[in-house]
Structure 1
Amino acid sequence: MSEGFASFPQGPLGDFVGKIEQALPKLPKQEAKVAQYILLNVQSIGPETGKSLAARIGVSEITVGRLLRRLGYDGTKHLKELLREHYAMGGAPVAPSADIDSKMSQVMEAELSIIRSVFQQTGNTHWEVARHLISKSKRVYVTGFQSVRGLAEDFTRRLSIARAHTQYLSPHDGMLGEWLDRESPGISEECLLIVDVVPYATEGQELARIAKQQGRSLIVVSDEFCHWSAEIADACLYAPSNSGLYLESTIGLNVTLGLLVDYAANATPEKARKRLASWKKNARRLKLF
């Protein structure tokens, strides 16, 4: 599902989407159907004609044209031009690997190997369990300590767009106030995801034990040095970190977390599309983009 931050419409296409959103509450019913379809499928309607678009939505071709003219556009031809302009790809060609010095070339190969390792693991049992938990749990808590807290917080925000009931958990700040109702019947449907690296193993282990003792499922996303997760977690996802950099690489953790967001979105694609459309609408109203 490639409909996230990088696809956020800006420029002329963004103006077009903004006009649709502003007009939507006041549109006639049939034109509103067209507008809503375009908002939810703006990335995939490039090949459509006015006729094919009307057939998909279940309205007349005249209705499609009427909506576009109401918004100040000359039919689907004008819309295609906006999409072509927005999604055109350009830029300078990638430099050949021969231009990279030997040390950086070794680091690059190590980083690529890390990514490859993550993808090679996605067919194992732990990934199957993680996919199920990240998409089916009633609530997902996410946490990470110190240098990986930022990764955990970013993942929480992204996951909250893909699915409902996602919450960052800060044990230090809140002292687990969120978990005081230990007898809640819904605890067995909750999941904790911990992003862990070696220096914070003690904290992660204790929090993991509390989560399991209270009845929650547990996913641990960690580097290759994590020695404890296999004994406690329902799913252990490993992302190698030793690539020769001054500090350990986090690219594997990022890839792993990105895949989990994608799995959550694809578990309920229609809901995820609607959530993303609502997120974009709110972002525009707040003038964030």
Structure 2
Amino acid sequence: MAKDIVTRLQSADLRKSKTDKLIAQYIERNLAELPFETAKSIAARLGISQMTVGRYLRRLGFDGLDEMKTALRRGRSNPAWQVKGPVARLQQDIREGKLLAGLVQQQIDNLGVVYELMTQPEWQQTIDALISASEVYVAAYQNVRGIAQYFASQLSYSRPRVSFMDGLNGTYAEALDGSVEGRVLFLHDVRRFASKARPLAAEARRAGVKVILLTDEFCPWASEVADIALIVPGSHGPLWDGAATMTAVMDLMLSNIIVLIGNQVDERVQTLTRLQDIFGDFES
């Protein structure tokens, strides 16, 4: 499929104007990086409009970049965990300190985007929903499962009736059976996207459960299945996806919730500490 796309990109029909050539050359040279791109990011890199990129992709035979990514995935593996670039050069960069310095700068830039996210209405809507929900169910998959479990555990120190759903019962009935009003599903998913995430979100909304989705910029269906979508930067570096940005969002969210709930958190922590002492989970 990649060879077919390159052949089309090199055709005269798709290189009629200077802009055509600019887009064609960019896609041809960066096919391996397309999973980490959006039409918006390509437009920004080339100094053209997102609409221009979209029109070009339609001439190329795709109804948007997501359809092109899907076609590429069918032709080859597209893991989220991969080294992207010549290994020898990356090894040289890491010996010289360039690679890690670049990754640190990427995390700093991402935290700037997280700060902007905190000023958006979706942030406060999420905080309010997690505080006021009758029950909170957290679900995640693959490489973000662990940090989502961490979030659920930490949130349970702030408020009662918080559960992580692993889906092993095959039904997710604990969240979807409709026995309690005011439920919230907090779904965490990033590329590569889990096959269960989208149908779980859709089914939750059908069951009257409010869906909050924490995902990255590569998610093509966030607005379709979520009541509230929180979008964080994805990985654009030469190494596999990291969890630093997602973890930062979760920690800031927990801090926000704890401050707003106030004395109730202290009372709950005292109760849980007494129970921990009874059952001896921690050293004295």
The TM-score bracket by the shorter chain reads 0.5 to 0.7
SS of 1:118's partner is helix
Equivalents in 2 of 1:227, 1:100: separation in Å? 37
Contact 1:201 1:226 in 2 (8 A): no
Partner of 2:111: 115
1:13-72 CA distance string (max 9 Å, x none): xxxxxxxxxxxxxxxxxxxxxxxxxxxxxxxxxxxxxxxxxxxxxxxxxxxxxxxxxxxx
Count of aligned pairs:
188
| TM-score, with length taken from structure 2 | 0.61
Q: Which residue of 144, 155, 161 maps to 1:159?
A: 155
Change (3 A) 1:180 1:105: closer
Measured after TM superposition, the shift of residue 260 of structure 1 is: 2.1
User: Where does 1:156-235 land on structure 2 (aligned, <5 Å)?
Assistant: 156-179=152-175, 181-182=177-178, 184=179, 186-187=180-181, 189-235=182-228
Q: Does 1:288 align with 2:282?
A: yes
Corresponding residue of 2:257? 264
**Alignment check: 8 A CA contact 2:232 2:245 kept:** yes
How many Å apart are 1:248 and its aligned residue? 0.8
**Which of the numbers 108, 113, 122 marks the counterpart of 1:126?**
122
Partners of 1:125 and 1:232 in 2: CA distance: 18
What is the CA-CA distance between 1:130 and the residue it aligns to?
0.6
**Cα distance between partner residues in 1 of 2:175 and 2:126:** 22
User: Does the 8 Å contact 1:129/1:234 carry over to 2?
Assistant: no
1:249 aligned to which of 235, 239, 242: 242
Structure 2: unaligned runs, 5 residues or longer: 1-94
Structure 1 unmatched runs, 5+: 1-98
* 3-state SS in 1 of match to 2:282: coil
Residues 163 and 264 of structure 1 are in contact (CA less than 8 Å); yes or no, is this contact kept in structure 2? no
Separation (CA, whole Å) in 2 of partners of 1:142 and 1:117: 24
Are the aligned partners of 2:175 and 2:183 in contact in 1 as well (CA < 8 Å)?
no
SS state at 2:125 partner: helix
Change (3 A) 1:243 1:281: farther
Conservation of the 8 A alpha-carbon contact between 1:193 and 1:221? yes
Q: TM-score of the superposition, structure 1-length normalised?
A: 0.60
8 Å Cα contact 1:107/1:243 also seen in 2 = no
* CA RMSD of superposed structures (Å): 2.1
Shift of 1:287: 4.5
| SS of equivalent to 2:195 | helix
Describe the SS at the equivalent of 1:172. Answer: coil
